[in-house]
Structure 1
Amino acid sequence: MSDSSESGVPRPVRIIAWSVAGVGTLLVVGVIVVVLMFEHAVGQAPVKAADDARGLARDAVGDLRTESQDGVLTDDQITVAIAKANGVVKSVKRADSSIDVTARVEGNSGGVGGEITAALCFTYTIALPVQPTSKIDMRELPSCPQ
């Protein structure tokens, strides 16, 4: 029996050719998988950053409660509570039955494409009188006021 097939190509050459083809196929598939994973990671970064902002905004409710322990909630105390949540106070409106705070909170998501930041706005309505158990409603706004 000879080392050649009916095509006349020696068996060692066929083995090398198939090996090169197999390795090449694996490399192409590997590159495709890496590209798809990168696209997925980059596509998810804004979603994760927005989720981070929402989590920080929820944390601000607890920080507002902490700042109101003494029964008073000044603008400075509100600013401190929102700043702990990586936020900035946009407005504070005081009424007879509540304090309405509008704030911009930033969330971050790092990944292969670098760090992505999402800025979301929230309104916090704090029931009066201010006390540690005061009801605080948080609502996400569709956009941030100027």
Structure 2
Amino acid sequence: MLPLVLLGLAGLVVAMAVVGAMSRTNPKRAQRLSRMLLGVGACFVGAVMTLRGLAVLGTPIIGVGLVLLGLSARSPRAQAGAGGPQTPPRRSGTMTRREALEILGLEDGAGEADIREAYKSLMKKMHPDAGGSDALARQIQEARDTLLPKR
């Protein structure tokens, strides 16, 4: 009984150290590290269950671990490459006014204040630091630059 309690305490200390380290790192890196740790853990638990005669439960858990690690053929990361789904690059500087209004969700005749408000709202949701992508953020910025008068 005592060895299990000590093992549990050691696991808790390690978990707290990992959480502390991840709180001070870049969100994308923390997400990648979390996926890796969960994937390795799931594979380990699945392997132990399989070796103990619970292959019916262990095998699917190993599958989940492999998907989290991006090693499974069914994993979206394995199908689209390590960087995830890729957005085709846009031709920079060629956005029309109509496209810009559509991206920002505005009607024709929107004023400068409406454009700035729509830009700010979308960037809060689509900024790479908030879970969006660089490509989306660039499109939103290009739309704003297309609609606002040059100063």
Normalised-by-shorter TM-score class: under 0.3
TM-score, L = length of structure 2: 0.27
Give the TM-score, by structure 1 length.
Answer: 0.28
Structure with greater proportional strand content: 1
**Which protein has greater RCO, CA pairs closer than 8 Å, 6+ apart?**
1
